[in-house]
């Protein structure tokens, strides 16, 4: 066993003494050492229920014949971090998490690891660490939150809180209604109820085969989730004994499957960053064009919050990811999963309980997948839009640039009524290095919806968006402004052409004018001059490369 490096031989007497000090018996030293990386914290609703799941994982590891060792992984709630300096940190945290997994597992020569996770950057960070290590690993995502309830209707976090800010500004919500929404939109433990980044990544983790069937949508409060946690604890010991490692599961074919499901679900645009980063750590050659190629041939068959009226609980009761795989079987590669079963077997045995939640191809919401990759003189290396959330009349749009060098300035302009029909809001210097940390723009995009502008205003940024974004919002513009990308030389009044169907994003400037402006462009000083974020901005790659550290 890998852990024999710390526990066998006469020269390891000091090591064994320290292990015995933790309470281990001599018999325990003959068993596989299993790390359990838990991102439990009282700060994140998606993680507050993990103490319960830790017990069941521990039980499973012991039943399987292993010895569990728990260690903590830091977590950030993107919703609480949103709209201020805090949002510079979540994407940067992804790299800390991957480094933490590598560091603890290698320092203690652990034989395998269970990754207990849930929210936006934490799940991909853990998978990146596991792929880098390439020791047996299994993921347990803690599950979605139940929908809230108010006045006989379901509530969701983004729709009923962020969009409510603008509605309140317009006088369309009373103080009492706002208070009720605050109290009821998030009724308890779990990741936010729609197909935002956390739940999208949970679904794609299951699709890749890195968590057990049913894990991606099993609700945070359910006994099913407990059973999956226990089964995952048992399974990791089997994976160690059989030496089934992440790189045997995370392959080009399984990543392609993840994109197929992502497109069919209409998932978060952040997956373009995270799947690219996971591929990088797994040594798989991958690029943005793969997303678009698959997206053009995959119909959008579910419509969950924030795009549609269904919630994660509805997807779970419709059959979860196994049912989605059943619907998409003909478009999937028959890859191996950590359960020991192949994708086709899981799909074959699944049932679709609700044909409206998981629609057949001939009744798809859209003929193409949820995401589109755009290129043009504004995004030579690509940009991402969640086209499933764009009104048909806004798929092609021409407008005048309104340029802002940070999110806060744009937010004030929106709320103060300074953005008009026909404008294209440009928020730049918010990329991986320029932000730093590529801040999510959920506040301004929700404000656009709340102000009634989503069908007449577009937004482009070198930052990124929450999975909760609706409307023609184009993010991940690469190269970013701080690297001298064309978005850096835009001026108020420039005419911008957006054509999602034809995958183009351009500014009506000649090559000569663009070259002239770029020649006169000067880099701006970094926003953060010390600490981790300063180190991060000096090392991070472009969004089209997954924003990984070089």
Q: What is the pLDDT of residues 129-180, one digit of tens each?
A: 999 999 999 999 999 999 999 888 888 887 788 777 777 877 888 888 888 8
Instruction: Please name every residue paired with 70 in a beta bridge, in sequence order, or none if there are none.
Output: 36
pLDDT at 383 over 70: yes
DSSP 109: T
DSSP 161: I
Residue 219 or 151, more confident: 219
Sign of CA dihedral 222, 227, 230, 232: negative
List, as one string, the DSSP characters of 123-153.
HHHHHHHHHHHTS-EEEEE--BPPPEEETTE
Instruction: Using alpha carbons, select from 54, 43, 270 the residue that is nearest to residue 142.
Output: 54
What is the distance between the alpha carbons of residues 116 and 131, in angstroms, rounded to a whole number?
A: 15
pLDDT confidence of residue 180? 86
pLDDT confidence of residue 137? 98
% of the chain residues with pLDDT over 90: 87
Instruction: Using alpha carbons, select from 344, 342, 341 the residue that is nearest to residue 326.
Output: 344
pLDDT confidence of residue 468? 67
The answer to whether the beta carbons of residues 95 and 536 sit under 8 Å apart is yes
Task: Kindly state the tokens that stand for 491.
Answer: 């001026």
User: Average model confidence (pLDDT) for the chain?
Assistant: 95
pLDDT confidence of residue 54? 98
**String of b and e for 388-408 (b: at least 16 CB within 10 Å)?**
bbbeeebbebebebbbbbbbe
Instruction: Using alpha carbons, select from 442, 431, 376 the residue that is nearest to residue 544.
Output: 431
pLDDT at 3 over 90: yes
- Range with lowest mean pLDDT among 238-242, 425-429, 522-526: 522-526
Q: How many CB atoms lie within 10 A of CB 175?
A: 8
Residue whose structure tokens are 């000083």: 525
DSSP 446: H
Report field, pTM of the whole predicted structure over 0.85: yes
pLDDT confidence of residue 158? 75
The pair phi, psi for residue 287, each rounded to 5°, is: -150, 170
The residues, ordered by sequence, that sit 6+ positions from 47 with a Cβ below 8 Å of its Cβ are 39, 40, 41, 75, 118, 119, 142
What is the longest distance spanned by two Cα atoms in the chain?
77
- Range with lowest mean pLDDT among 2-6, 169-173, 203-207, 465-469: 465-469
Domains, the chain, with CATH or none:
31-146+188-349 (3.40.50.2300), 150-186 (no CATH), 373-541 (3.50.30.80)
pLDDT at 467 over 90: no
Instruction: Using alpha carbons, select from 339, 344, 305 the residue that is nearest to residue 322.
Output: 344
The mean pLDDT value for 521-531 works out to 93
What are the E-state strand segments in 85-136?
A: 112-117
Kindly report, residue by residue over 424-456, the tens digit of the pLDDT: 999 999 999 999 999 988 788 888 988 889 899
Instruction: Using alpha carbons, select from 420, 272, 268, 265 the residue that is nearest to residue 358.
Output: 265
Residue 375: left if φ>0, alpha if ψ -120 to 50, beta else—which one?
beta
Residue 164 or 387, more confident: 387
pLDDT at 342 over 70: yes
The answer to whether the beta carbons of residues 50 and 116 sit under 8 Å apart is yes
CA angle 32, 38, 44 (to 5 degrees): 170
Sign of CA dihedral 468, 473, 479, 484: negative
CA angle 11, 15, 20 (to 5 degrees): 130
What are the E-state strand segments in 33-152?
A: 33-38, 67-72, 112-117, 137-141, 148-150
Half-sphere exposure of 297 (CA within 13 A, CB side): 12
Kindly report, residue by residue over 16-64, the tens digit of the pLDDT: 999 999 999 999 999 999 999 999 999 999 999 999 999 999 999 999 9
The mean pLDDT value for 229-236 works out to 98
Task: Kindly state the tokens that stand for 501.
Answer: 């169907």
Catalytic positions, written as ranges: 466
The mean pLDDT value for 464-473 works out to 81
């Amino acid at each position: 066993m890998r852990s024999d490096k710390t526990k066998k031989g006469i020269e390891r007497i000091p090591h064994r003494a320290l292990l015995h000090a933790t309470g281990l018996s001599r018999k325990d030293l003959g068993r596989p050492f299993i790390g359990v990386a838990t991102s439990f914290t009282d700060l994140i609703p998606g993680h507050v229920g993990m103490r319960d799941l830790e017990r069941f994982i521990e039980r499973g590891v012991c039943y399987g014949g292993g010895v569990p060792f728990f260690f903590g992984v830091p977590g950030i709630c993107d919703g609480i971090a949103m709209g201020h300096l805090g949002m510079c940190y979540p994407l940067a945290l992804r790299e800390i998490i991957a480094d933490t997994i590598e560091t603890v597992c290698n320092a203690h020569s652990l034989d395998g690891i269970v990754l207990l996770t849930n929210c936006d950057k934490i799940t991909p960070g853990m998978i990146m660490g596991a792929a880098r290590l390439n020791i047996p690993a299994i993921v347990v995502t803690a599950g979605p939150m139940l929908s809230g309830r108010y006045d006989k209707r379901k509530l969701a976090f983004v729709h009923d809180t962020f969009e409510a800010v603008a509605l309140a500004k317009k006088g369309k919500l009373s103080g009492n209604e706002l208070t009720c929404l605050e109290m009821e939109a998030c009724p308890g433990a779990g990741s936010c109820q729609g197909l935002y980044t956390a739940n999208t990544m949970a679904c794609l983790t299951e699709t890749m085969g890195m968590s057990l069937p049913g894990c991606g949508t099993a609700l945070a409060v359910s006994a099913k989730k407990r059973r999956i946690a226990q089964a995952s604890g048992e399974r990791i010991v089997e994976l160690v004994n059989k030496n089934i490692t992440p790189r045997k599961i995370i392959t080009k074919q399984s990543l392609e499957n993840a994109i197929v499901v992502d497109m069919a679900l209409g998932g978060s645009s952040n997956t373009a960053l995270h799947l690219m980063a996971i591929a990088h750590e797994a040594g798989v050659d991958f690029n943005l064009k793969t997303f678009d190629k698959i997206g053009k041939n995959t119909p959008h068959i579910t419509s969950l919050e924030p795009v549609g009226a269904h919630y994660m609980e509805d997807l779970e009761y419709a059959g979860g990811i196994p049912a989605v795989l059943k619907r998409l079987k003909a478009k999937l590669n028959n890859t191996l999963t950590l359960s020991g079963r192949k994708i086709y077997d899981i799909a074959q045995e699944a049932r679709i309980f609700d044909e409206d939640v998981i629609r057949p191809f001939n009744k798809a919401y859209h003929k193409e997948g949820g995401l589109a990759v755009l290129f043009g003189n504004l995004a030579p290396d690509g940009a991402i839009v969640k086209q499933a959330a764009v009104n048909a009349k806004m798929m092609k749009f021409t407008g005048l640039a309104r340029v802002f060098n940070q999110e806060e300035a744009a937010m004030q302009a929106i709320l103060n009524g300074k953005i008009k029909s026909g404008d294209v809001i440009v928020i730049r210097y918010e990329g991986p290095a320029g932000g730093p940390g590529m801040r999510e723009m959920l506040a301004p995009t929700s404000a656009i919806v709340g102000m009634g502008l989503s069908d007449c205003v577009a937004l482009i940024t070198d930052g990124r968006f929450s999975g909760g974004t609706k409307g023609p919002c184009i993010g991940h513009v690469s190269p970013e402004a701080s690297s001298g990308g064309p978005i850096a030389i835009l001026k108020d009044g420039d005419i911008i052409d957006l054509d999602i169907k034809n995958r183009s994003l351009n500014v009506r400037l000649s090559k000569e004018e663009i070259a002239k402006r770029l020649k006169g462009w000067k880099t701006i000083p970094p926003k953060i001059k010390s600490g981790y974020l300063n180190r991060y901005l000096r090392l991070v790659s472009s969004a089209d490369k997954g924003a990984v550290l070089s």
